[in-house]
Amino acid sequence: MIIKPLSNIRFQAKALLRHLFSSQTKYYMHSPFVYDLMAHVLEQKKESDDLKTILHFRKKRSLEKDKKIVFKGIGAIQTDSIKSLSEIEKKLSAPHQIAKRYYHCIQKYGYQNILEIGTCVGIGTMYLAKANPNGKVYTLEGNKDCYEYAKRYFEEVGLQNVHLIEGLFEHTLVNTLETMKSVDLVIIDGNHQYESTLAYFRQILPFIHEDSLIVLDDIHWSEGMNKAWLEIIAMKEVTLSLDFYRNGFVFFKKNRLEKENFKIWVSD
Ligand SMILES: C[S@@+](CC[C@H](N)C(=O)[O-])C[C@H]1O[C@@H](n2cnc3c(N)ncnc32)[C@H](O)[C@@H]1O
């Protein structure tokens, strides 16, 4: 999640209204795969011990108003800014309800090779790493201070399966993909701009397989992100896309009769 510049707010409000009127709940879903995903993964209410541990960790961070990080205008937000850990926990890290969905997807589909593009201070990464301690999570971050906090936090929470890589995505993404060889789950959660999002997506494509899932965050954050999303779901490799307004899931399953793009309303 990223902080919204005023210029994008009108676009987001219209996109949200469109989504409210055109999305469907699980009760009208004819695809068995998507129904199962909605009913048994995304709307899963259970809070496991892992999730409780992460929530507790988040609560501690949300009280830290005096510890601050300088953001030096990388990615979609070009101006420099200073944010407290408390603000980061609330505004930049994936909200618990969203990150919990990734956690349950990993458990349901047994994803092993996971890539997160945009670590920030590592809150979202915790859900990915805890979901499958036998899997490997690669996570990329360009802000030195965020990287240092994330490193410390992973030690504090005792995560053994995270590879944290510092540097701009433009320098680290391809090398990381080559190291991973193949990806099961990718979360694109940084540098939410039209060109970069399409470029990252195209770089990832040679490393996916039939059961991979790519998640794009903030797909209706700006006109550029909306355009990138529409171009991505039109690509021939994408056989199923799910637009949850806040983020979008794309699948590459080959056994589908035809490409389907759903707009979905999931209750938390
Ligand atoms: C929305 S935050 C990630 C939140 C994280 N996934 C979570 O849920 O806790 C996006 C992060 O991407 C980083 N970022 C943005 N553009 C980047 C780029 N081009 N290269 C490297 N890091 C970048 C920012 O520094 C920021 O920390």
43-68 per-position pLDDT tens digit: 888 899 999 999 999 999 888 888 89
Q: Of 70-84, 89-103, 168-182, which gets the smallest average pLDDT?
A: 70-84
Q: What is the pLDDT averaged over residues 176-190?
A: 98
Q: What is the mean pLDDT of residues 71-95?
A: 84
Say which CATH number the domain at 238 has: 3.40.50.150
Residue 6 scores a pLDDT above 70: no
- How many A from CA of 189 to the centre of ligand 1? 6
Residue 254 has pLDDT above 60, yes or no: yes
Residue 195 has pLDDT above 70, yes or no: yes
pLDDT band for 266, please (50, 70, 90 cuts). Answer: confident
Task: Name the closest-CA residue to atom 26, ligand 1.
Answer: 120
In angstroms, the CA 64 to CA 147 distance is 18
Residue 72 covered by a domain = no
Looking from the CA of residue 92, the nearest atom of ligand 1 is 1
pLDDT tens for 95-153 read: 999 999 999 999 999 999 999 999 999 999 999 999 999 999 999 999 999 999 999 99
Could you read off the pLDDT of 153-171 as tens digits, one per residue?
999 999 999 999 999 999 9
Within a domain: residue 146? yes
**With helix as H, strand as E and coil as C, how does 63-118 read?**
CCCCCEEEEECCCCCCCEEEEEHHHHHHHHCCCHHHHHHHHHHHHHHCCCEEEEEC
Q: What is the pLDDT of residue 212?
A: 98
Supply the pLDDT for residue 80: 76
Q: What's the rounded mean pLDDT across residues 223-246?
A: 96
> What pLDDT score does 4 carry?
55
Domain-embedded: residue 238 = yes
Q: Measure the CA–CA gap between 128 and 97, rounded to whole angstroms.
A: 13
Q: Is residue 21 part of a domain?
A: yes
In-domain check, residue 181: yes
pLDDT at 87 over 70: yes
The chain-wide mean pLDDT, for the chain, equals 93
CA of 268 to the centre of ligand 1 (A): 25
CA of 118 relative to ligand 1 center, distance in Å: 3
Domain membership flag for residue 134: yes
Residues in CB range of 19: below 8 A, 6 or more apart: 220, 243, 245, 263, 265
Nearest CA to ligand 1 atom 20: 168
77 is a domain residue: no
| Ligand 1, atom nearest to 1 Cα | 1
Structural element, H or E, at residue 188: strand 185-188
252 is a domain residue? yes
Ligand 1 pocket mutation pick from 77, 115, 191 by most atoms within 8 angstroms of CB:
191
Domain residues for the domain of 19 are 6-60+94-263
In the chain, the number of structural domains is: 1
Can you tell me the mean pLDDT for 22-34? 91
Closest atom of ligand 1 to 187 CA is 6
